[in-house]
Amino acid sequence: MSAAPARPPMAAGTPRAMAAPAGVPLLEVVDLRKSFGGIVAVEQVSFRLAAGEILALIGPNGAGKSTCFNLINGQLRPDRGRVLLDAVDIGGRRPRAIWRLGVGRTFQVAAGFGSMTVRDNLRVALWSRERLLGRFWRAAPPELDAEAERRLQQLGLAGCADTACATLSYGDLKTVDLALALAGRPRLLLMDEPTAGMGAAERHALMALARDQARAHGIGVLFTEHSMDVVFAVADRILVMDRGRLIAHGDPAAVRADPAVQAAYFGAAMP
């Protein structure tokens, strides 16, 4: 495995558990295992992710990708193994506690309040981050309103800021989902099939936004994706799962040529 790149300084206010020694990866998954009854969904999965790195996790349906995500962000408790964020074991903690430590997530189905405008959805996310939701009926702190406007501009949402999310196009709604996840100032962003149902141009535009934010703010990104054009265009490294186990790992060129990967995709050559 290649050495982790140096991590840039984080913005003020970014949550974190504790300072980690130099050279410690942002995320380290060690010998992760999860079974459901007699079915093993994840077995002996280990990998690392550096700050600012884009890591894709791919594999056929049922390979264990979503289970891995759910183990990392606390929706499931591992049977065995560790999930380390800056060398601190977060395995088995509740999702909100893990979010407070700097782990954000987007889902296959975009979240958000459909009856609220894009701007107000973003305000809710910012107020939640600052533990201010109990006073949301009051005037917004000016610094949070200013941050909301900056984020709307950065993610290309200023033109629909006053539009109810329920009336947005699917592509814009997925961008809002990304904006809400980034509003928590994550150090690690998990993206579960972020471009599902999108056209080719929208897919690449959304992942370019995610990549640019990751590079600018030192955010490590782990994403699952079925669109191989997106995976090979965006990922720095690729992990491949099949039947709960990692079967390949490397840069896009190495993974594309790996016979085990081609076999996992039913013998079809990778695009």
User: pTM to 2 decimals?
Assistant: 0.85
List per-block mean pLDDT (blocks of 10 residues) for the chain, which spans 271 residues: 37 42 85 94 97 95 92 94 95 92 83 84 89 68 90 93 92 92 94 90 94 94 93 95 94 90 67 55
Instruction: Please tell me the predicted confidence (pLDDT) of residue 110.
Output: 67
**Residue ranges of the domains in the chain?**
23-102+185-271, 117-184
Phi (first) and psi of residue 81, to 5 degrees:
100, 175
Instruction: Please tell me the predicted confidence (pLDDT) of residue 251.
Output: 94
Q: Which residues contact 30 (CB under 8 A, 6 or more apart)?
A: 46, 81, 82, 83, 84
Instruction: Please tell me the predicted confidence (pLDDT) of residue 61.
Output: 87
Instruction: Please tell me the predicted confidence (pLDDT) of residue 262.
Output: 83
Instruction: Please tell me the predicted confidence (pLDDT) of residue 243.
Output: 92
Instruction: Please tell me the predicted confidence (pLDDT) of residue 109.
Output: 64
* Residues 162, 181: Cα–Cα separation, whole Å: 19
Instruction: Please tell me the predicted confidence (pLDDT) of residue 77.
Output: 94
Largest CA distance in the chain: 59
Under CATH, to which class is 23-102+185-271 assigned?
A: alpha beta
Q: Please give the single-letter amino acid code of residue 194.
A: P
